[in-house]
């Protein structure tokens, strides 16, 4: 039962409107806290002072995606990420290229990039 709940949760997050922002980019589904912050706000704040709250949110989202993927037996990063600063740099690069997206979009997009090509780290 627990395994199916995790699978359902991962699928709901993975295929949600917020994950791809194609169906309704204004929908605020399943994202709370710093993940709601716009990318441009994160980049601006980070230039003045390092934003540990946003970095912690990205790390938590990444951890959730990775654990759900492993429970489903999917194609995951599986320890290829050895330095969290790599993740933050990628997430910030995503945000610089997509300033109107949210940190949640950045976290998912970054995780998916690493899953598709873990050798790019």
Kindly report, residue by residue over 56-115, the tens digit of the pLDDT. Answer: 999 999 989 888 888 888 778 877 777 888 888 999 999 999 999 999 999 999 888 888
- pLDDT score for 38: 92
Count CB neighbours of 72 within 10 A: 14
- pLDDT score for 102: 93
- pLDDT score for 46: 73
- pLDDT score for 2: 57
Is 25 a member of any domain? Answer: no
Share of the chain above pLDDT 90, in %: 24
Residues 6+ apart with CB under 8 A from 19: 13, 105, 108
Is 79 a member of any domain? Answer: yes
Is 93 a member of any domain? Answer: yes
Query: Is residue 22 very low, low, confident or very high in pLDDT (cuts 50, 70, 90)?
Result: very low
Query: Is residue 29 very low, low, confident or very high in pLDDT (cuts 50, 70, 90)?
Result: low
| Average per-residue pLDDT for the chain | 78
Q: Give the range of the structural domain holding residue 105, as residue numbers without chain letter.
A: 2-20+33-120
The whole-angstrom separation of Cα 94 and Cα 29 is: 21
- For residue 39, what is the enclosing H or E element? helix 39-48
pTM: 0.69
Domain count, the chain: 1
Share of the chain above pLDDT 70, in %: 75
């Amino acid at each position: 039962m627990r395994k199916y709940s995790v699978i359902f949760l991962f699928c709901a997050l993975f295929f949600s409107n917020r994950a791809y922002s194609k169906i309704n980019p204004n929908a605020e589904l399943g994202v709370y806290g710093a993940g709601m912050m716009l990318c441009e706000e994160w980049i601006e704040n980070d230039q003045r002072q390092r934003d540990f709250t946003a970095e912690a949110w990205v790390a938590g989202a990444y951890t959730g995606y990775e654990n759900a993927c492993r429970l489903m037996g999917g194609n995951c990063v599986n320890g290829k990420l050895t330095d969290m600063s790599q993740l933050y740099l990628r997430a910030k690069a995503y945000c610089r290229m997509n300033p109107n997206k949210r940190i949640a979009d950045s976290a998912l997009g970054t995780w998916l990039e690493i899953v598709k090509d873990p050798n790019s780290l």
